[in-house]
Amino acid sequence: MTRSAYSALLLFVFDLAVAAGAVFLAKYLQRLLPGVSLPDEVLWVKAGIFSVTGIVCFYFQDLYNWKYWRRISELTSSVLLGGGLALIVLAVIYYIIPAVGLERDVLLGALFIVLSLSFVIRAGYLKLRFNNSNGTRIAVLGDGDNAKFLFREMRAGGYPVIFEGYIGRNNWDLPSRCLGDVSEIHRIIKEIEPDLLVVAPDGWRGTLPIDDLLHIKLTSCDVIDAPNFYEKITGRILVEEIRPSSIIFTRGFLSSPLQDAVKRGFDIFFALVGIVVTFPIMVLTALAIRLESPGPIFYLQQRVGLDGKDFRVIKFRSMRQDAEKQGPQWASQNDPRVTRVGRIIRKLRIDELPQFLNVLKNDMSFVGPRPERRYFVDQLEKVIPYYALRLHAKPGITGWAQVNYPYGDTIEDAREKLKYELFYMKHRSLWLDLVIIFQTIKVAIKARGSQ
């Protein structure tokens, strides 16, 4: 389990315990105040509903992902919005099922306790996370561009990593201190005592101190190469550093017939559930498209699927009927070709809902790399190394890249998304698919990353 996942789990358990305890504490305080306080034999049921609702609302407000509340101001607004959302959802539940409703003063008291303690614990978490004494302590073996890239990426992303310095020749371009020459690596590791030694050389093939690294790994600390370190911390694969051997000899990128069968059953189940749940939304969307602009309701487009085979993807039409009279082109920010209805349904990802039918037809999976058009695939294969690897996974309605990277309309954006797509292909599992689906629901509700 990664450090971020472990932290999120601790926050989840804390919130669950606090929310349940807050209801009982608020009920106890009610008995101390003037007025009538009636006993409640099903208070534990009400506490459970209150707790689960609060946890779900906090999740959708990103209160289990520190990246969205790095500042106290962001944390304050997130906690308040999470509390407000919980209050609205609870009001709906209590209206539908009055028997599970909490008394007004108990509800407000419990909510106040939860929001206060949640804010305090997260504020303390921020203080600890960005304290210089907290984080994985790293020493880097390398003094060139690879080391510089690592320093820049880790610091720009705000990852919980503390760089003690680098081992190699002194290089003023590196934003860290030089710990000494490679010949002194044993002394340096013994003095610094890092948690991890990251090997990031430039052009040192055949000259790495293999024996020294082996001894350090067995006696001092773990040793990892730069691409694997980058992958572990960021959740994406460093495309620029991919070697054929890293694909041939890795356990990832392949799936067994059993895994494929389970995933297919998973896809069919979620596609059917998706159609049933979103059917009213799709009907309203179809009517809105028909009323706003002339042209078909659905948009059929050739996309490249598994193993490079073409198929027709089904989407709600979100652009004018003549949107591509000048040829294929990526959608852009504030694209004038997008209709008013189209802008809304693209923002909320409603235009993708008809692709449930593509999943049932087995053209697509629920989770996988997004299918691209042949015109763009042919272009990107020429300029991005290993771009064709993504074609060896069935395309999906959503994917790891979609929940981690905003919509892009450039070759550089395609390169960055490929890093996430290859990470998914290497580590794909039913658990990762479930994580992506829940993240997608949150992204759609909060309208992030669309054009």
pLDDT for 64: 87
pLDDT for 441: 82
Whether 251 is in a domain gets the answer: no
| DSSP codes joined into one string, 172-186 | TTSSS-EEE-GGGHH
Whether 451 is in a domain gets the answer: no
Residues facing 140 on adjacent strands: 166, 198
In a shared domain, residues 393 and 289? yes
Q: Is 315 left (phi over 0), alpha (psi -120 to 50) or beta?
A: beta
User: Which residues of 7-160 form beta strands (DSSP E)?
Assistant: 136-141
The domain in which residue 101 lies consists of 3-129
In a shared domain, residues 184 and 278? no
In a shared domain, residues 64 and 203? no
pLDDT for 28: 87
Look at residue 449 and tell me whether its pLDDT is greater than 60. Answer: no
Q: How confident is the model at residue 448 (pLDDT cuts 50, 70, 90)?
A: low
Whether 409 is in a domain gets the answer: yes
Look at residue 332 and tell me whether its pLDDT is greater than 90. Answer: no
Are 395 and 324 within 8 A, CB to CB? no
pLDDT for 157: 74
Whether 391 is in a domain gets the answer: yes
In a shared domain, residues 388 and 406? yes
Whether 242 is in a domain gets the answer: no
In a shared domain, residues 196 and 305? no
In three-state secondary structure terms, 137 is strand
In a shared domain, residues 113 and 157? no
pLDDT for 6: 72
Q: CA-CA distance, 130 to 114, in Å (whole number)?
A: 24
List the Cα angle 123/128/133 in 5-degree steps. Answer: 165
Strand pairing report for 161-167 and 178-180:
parallel
pLDDT for 140: 92
Residue 146 is part of a domain; what is its CATH number?
Answer: 3.40.50.720
Q: CA-CA distance, 365 to 31, in Å (whole number)?
A: 55
Q: How confident is the model at residue 50 (pLDDT cuts 50, 70, 90)?
A: very high
**At residue 338, what are phi and psi to the nearest 5 degrees?**
-80, 135
The two structure tokens encoding residue 196: 């991890």
This prediction has a pTM of 0.69
379-387 contact pairs (CB < 8 A, 24+): 379/411, 380/411, 380/414, 383/411, 384/239, 384/411, 384/414, 384/415, 384/418, 385/239, 385/240, 385/242, 386/239, 386/242, 386/418, 386/422, 387/414, 387/418
pLDDT for 105: 87
Whether 73 is in a domain gets the answer: yes
Nearest to 55 by CA among 94, 8, 98: 8
Instruction: Give the count of domains, the chain.
Output: 3
pLDDT digits (tens, 9 = 90+) for 116-164: 999 999 888 877 765 555 567 899 998 888 888 888 888 877 777 888 8
Whether 33 is in a domain gets the answer: yes
In a shared domain, residues 114 and 160? no
Among 107, 129, 151, give the residue marking a domain's end. 129
In a shared domain, residues 262 and 226? no
Are 389 and 422 within 8 A, CB to CB? yes
* Across 61-83, average pLDDT: 84
Q: How confident is the model at residue 176 (pLDDT cuts 50, 70, 90)?
A: confident
Among 102, 129, 156, give the residue marking a domain's end. 129
In a shared domain, residues 32 and 90? yes
In a shared domain, residues 264 and 198? no
Give the range among 194-198, 206-210, 240-244 with minimum mean pLDDT: 240-244
In a shared domain, residues 122 and 149? no
pLDDT digits (tens, 9 = 90+) for 346-384: 888 888 899 999 999 999 999 999 898 888 898 888 888
In a shared domain, residues 224 and 268? no
pLDDT for 267: 92
Among 129, 155, 181, give the residue marking a domain's end. 129
Q: What residues contact residue 72 under an 8 Å CB cut-off, 6+ apart?
A: 123, 126
Q: What residues contact residue 445 under an 8 Å CB cut-off, 6+ apart?
A: 60, 348
Whether 225 is in a domain gets the answer: yes
pLDDT for 235: 85
pLDDT digits (tens, 9 = 90+) for 211-257: 889 988 888 888 998 888 888 888 888 776 676 766 766 666 777 78
